[in-house]
Structure formats: structure tokens, C-alpha cells
A and B are shown apart, each in its own frame.
Chain A
């Protein structure tokens, strides 16, 4: 992120640029709306022998759930386009997410599981990099499969790619499940290393306030 100046341990550094923080929280809101309204829609015709509890759904009924889903999708996609443009052209992805090597992931995973991995604000360890990359890919999958469900005639090329509309429903559900799984891990790690939360709001943190932690 910033140039590592080891001089003053009280000095704060920029951990997350403003674009990343803004798109992170807008994404959190939009994705929350998408998941909760998506569960409302799922409940109208469940794929698996369970439904989501009403308190966890958004919209009140199927029509409301769809209205939320098809409104929040614009916020989700517009925000994601800004984030991806910044990540690709602002070199944010290359700087923070790469490289990801199997060796690095294996090493950091073992350290993390034995609670020996040091967390340094502003630097993603190999396990984080992999998780973030997978969550980004799941997001892309969720949007593409969502488009294929919304427009199975106009965008039938997307449906044909994977074997038709009924298959796409499962893929869309799977992408949601993966994103919710990421969310659970993400929140668990924030609880384990709580000082990562303020830096996602203010953008700043102390680089040398290093503690032994899981992430």
C-alpha cells in the first residue's frame, strides 16, 4: 500500500484507498439486498427441501423480493464495475492480490490454522488473496448466471453454455452459497482481528501494530 517507513510506530498508513472502502461498503449493502431478496424468490419454488426463514428475507412476498432483486442488481453491478476498473487499471489487483502461489497458500494456511500467522495491516497474506480472488470470481459467476436467468431468451447463449435454464438456477444458487460462505469466513476473521474493521472505514491503521492472529 504505502512505502514501508519503519521509523515511527505511532504513524498511521493508508491501508485501504477511498475507492476500495466506498465500493466495499456499497457492495456489502447491495449484496445483502441481493441475497435476502434472492432467498425470498427461492422460497417461492425451492430447489432443495428447505426454505429460508422469513426474517432473513427481503420484500415481504415474491413480487417484493423480485422488485428488490431487480433494483439492487443495478447498484451491485455499477459498483462492481467501478471496483473492477480501479482494480485492473489502478493496479490495485496486481499490487494486493498477486502473486498467488500454491506454495504460499499452503504455507500461510498452515500458519493460520495454528494461529501463528502474523497479520500486517495493508498486506494480504496468501490465504486472504486466494479467498478474495475466489469471492470476486463467485461474484462474476453470480452476475452472469443471474443475467442468464433474467434473460433466458435474449441471452440464451449464456444458458446454452451450461445446459439450459434449469441448470443455471443451480449455478446461481451455488454462487450465492459460495458468497455467503465467504461472508461467514470474512466476518469470523474480522472478529478474530477486530482492528481490521476501523481501517476499512477510516482507511488508516498502524503498520507495526502487529499481533499474532489467524489472518
Chain B
């Protein structure tokens, strides 16, 4: 898609990557990019409206469907914003989970400390924003339990994640406190430690949100009232993306 340089240089969080404004409709009506900006703004506003509606629809007691082990999808599909060759190599001896923001205990967590916390296992369907889905098993620390341990202010609005692969994402506090939202350490039919391509050593598993809201290779967790956005969310994927 061609763009006049002054527009591509303008720093705007409004721009939905290359194309929100440039679909068939634009061609039909012959709109130029400036008209497209208005379309962009409407679409962003509708996406924020959809965030609020989804927050209202969300129930902390409504559980995602769970499945029998016989329904597991094998092999589980790999998906990231980069090819499999670029999966980060994590040096687990030096790995620590940073904690920051509106929490009372900001001590970083080692893997063994996380493993010492109570663990829960689930077999749920991961639904990708692209449309496909796969059933997988994950085991780890319920986010709710972890937030209690770090003394998080659970009246705050957001929980944010920073990842070793430069990915980042965030979720609403209600979803973070949902019983099926876990800090996953294990996966697969035998609940073995996460293989590199599935987010070693730690990923977020949240079956009430689309796959891209399940970040891998978590390096830092923070609690905040300032909208944290995310890698895809900043480009135009709906932020809440709840199921």
C-alpha cells in the first residue's frame, strides 16, 4: 500500500498498520488516505467500545470448556510473530521473573520458587485470532495465586507481560483473577516442562482469551493502571480479545 511519506512518518497510535483504511471500500469510493484516517479513528473507537462490552460480558465464574486427554491436538501447532528458527534460547540458570508495578513484593522469582507454589492443570482449547484452534494441556501456577503472593493491588486495571522474544501483551485484572488463568510451566500429554517453541520456561495460559493474549517466554510481570497495550494490540488487534 502506498503512503505519502509525511503520513508514514507521523507518529500516531491511530494507524492500524498498513491497511485498515485501504480495503475494497476505499477503492470503491476512491477515498484518499486522509479520509482513511477518519475511518481508522472510527475503527479504533469501535475497538475500544468492544473492549468495554467484552469486559461487561466477562464472568469470572464462567469456565472455558475442558476436554478429555484423548482430545489433545498432537502435534500442537507452533505460532509466533517469527519463524521457529528464531525461538529465543533461554539460559535457565540466569532466568528470573521480574515483578514490578502496583505490588508489595518486587522480589524476582526463580523457576524453583514458582514450582514450589501450588500448581493446576487444564486441558482447554486455544483459539487463534486467525480462526484455527487446538486443544492442549498446560500446568502451572494460577495467576490469582501468584498475584496474592506478590501482594498485587487487585483493584488495579491491568496486568502486563514482557517477554524474552520482545513480545509484550496485557490483560484486564478480572481475567487475570479468573481461575483458569495460569502461569504455565508444563505442557503436553505428559505435562512436561514447556519446550522452547511453546514458551520455555514460562508462558501465560488464558483460555478465556485468543491465542495472541497467551504470551510466551515471560520475563516480567507488572501491575498497572496505565493501559499497557501489546505487540499486536498496538497494531490493531482488539485489546480485550476475550472468548
Q: Identify the A interface with B (CB < 8 A).
A: 33, 36-37, 40-42, 44-45, 47, 55-68, 70-71, 74, 151-154, 156, 159-160, 164-166, 169
What is the bound-complex CA distance between A111 and B238, given in angstroms? 51
The size of the chain B interface, using a CB distance under 8 A, is 42
Residue among A66, A153, A159, A164 making CB contact with B237, cutoff 8 Å: A66
Task: Tell me what chain B mostly uses at the interface: helix, strand, loop, or mixed.
Answer: loop
Q: Chain A: which residue is nearest B46 at the CB level? A: A71
- Given A60-B19, A154-B62, answer yes or no on A36-B129 (Cβ-Cβ < 8 Å): no
Please name all residues of chain B whose beta carbon is closer than 8 Å to the beta carbon of A159 when the two chains form the complex: 65
B24 touches A67 (CB 8 A): no
* Interface 9-residue window, one of B104-112, B130-138, B196-204: B130-138
9 closest cross-chain pairs (CB), A and B: A60-B19, A58-B23, A63-B236, A71-B46, A44-B130, A45-B131, A45-B130, A153-B243, A64-B20
Q: Does B32 contact A (CB under 8 A)?
A: no
Please name all residues of chain B whose beta carbon is closer than 8 Å to the beta carbon of A151 when the two chains form the complex: 57, 242-243
Other than A37-B23, A45-B130, give 19 A-B pairs with Cβ distance below 8 A: A36-B25, A40-B23, A41-B131, A45-B131, A55-B27, A58-B24, A59-B20, A59-B23, A60-B1, A62-B129, A67-B20, A67-B43, A67-B47, A67-B238, A70-B47, A71-B47, A74-B46, A152-B125, A165-B125
Please name all residues of chain A whose beta carbon is closer than 8 Å to the beta carbon of B46 when the two chains form the complex: 67, 70-71, 74
What is the bound-complex CA distance between A55 and B58, given in angstroms? 36
1-38 of chain B: CB within 8 A of chain A:
1, 16-25, 27
**A-B CB contact pairs (8 Å), 19 listed:** A36-B23, A45-B128, A57-B24, A58-B24, A58-B25, A60-B17, A60-B22, A63-B20, A63-B232, A63-B237, A64-B16, A64-B20, A65-B23, A66-B129, A67-B236, A70-B238, A151-B242, A156-B62, A165-B133
